[in-house]
């Protein structure tokens, strides 16, 4: 009985070993890149935000700057939000924000509204591609409108959108 059982086990093992054998040879298998192949440079990451599609590095906020997730209130202003934005007022009421935006437009600024995740409306005097441009405009606004209502122009700051 032991001999028969041992023989049956040997036959099953032999069939199992040959039945599962791969028909592919090593040369048919996927090859690994040759060490002499050149490494290709990775493409820059392109991402889409509610306001625009861009490829760039995210600017780093410096002391006095704020980084917030914001969205442009009026879709026609979507292209105005840049890497560096000069915020001149913040309002919880959209009508008040619209009125202050109109005041900044009458002063010659390309003002627009953004809304942050907390629901506050930010009045942006303008968006700029470089920090130097934005700082120059911010400082000019602070000095020119130093006598405005507290919480508006004299307290202008830079907003860097967080994506």
CATH class assigned to 50-161: alpha beta
Spatial distance between the Cα atoms of 81 and 128, rounded to a whole number of angstroms: 8
Residue with tokens 């002391």: 63
Query: Would you report the helix, strand and coil content of the chain in percent, each value rounded to 5?
Result: 35, 20, 45
Helix (H) or strand (E) holding 85: strand 84-91
Spatial distance between the Cα atoms of 133 and 125, rounded to a whole number of angstroms: 12
Q: What percent of the chain has pLDDT over 70?
A: 63
Mean pLDDT confidence for 118-146: 95
pLDDT digits (tens, 9 = 90+) for 18-36: 655 555 554 444 444 444 4
pLDDT digits (tens, 9 = 90+) for 64-96: 789 999 999 999 998 999 999 999 999 999 999
Give domain limits for the chain.
50-161
- Asked whether 132 and 39 are in contact (CB, 8 A), the reply is no
């Amino acid at each position: 009985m032991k001999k028969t059982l041992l023989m049956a086990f040997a036959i099953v093992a032999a069939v199992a070993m040959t039945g599962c054998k791969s028909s592919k040879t090593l040369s048919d298998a996927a090859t690994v890149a040759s060490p002499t192949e050149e490494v290709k440079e990775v493409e820059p990451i392109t991402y889409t935000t509610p306001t625009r599609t861009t490829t760039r590095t995210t600017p780093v906020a410096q002391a006095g700057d704020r980084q917030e997730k914001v969205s442009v209130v009026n879709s026609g202003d979507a292209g105005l939000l840049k890497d560096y934005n000069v915020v001149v007022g913040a309002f919880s009421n959209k009508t008040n924000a619209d009125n202050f935006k109109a005041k900044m437009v009458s002063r010659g600024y390309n003002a627009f509204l953004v809304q942050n995740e907390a629901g506050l409306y930010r009045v942006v005097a303008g968006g700029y591609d470089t920090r130097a441009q934005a700082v120059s405009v911010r400082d000019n606004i602070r000095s020119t409108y130093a006598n405005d209502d507290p919480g508006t122009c004299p307290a202008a700051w830079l907003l860097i959108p967080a994506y």
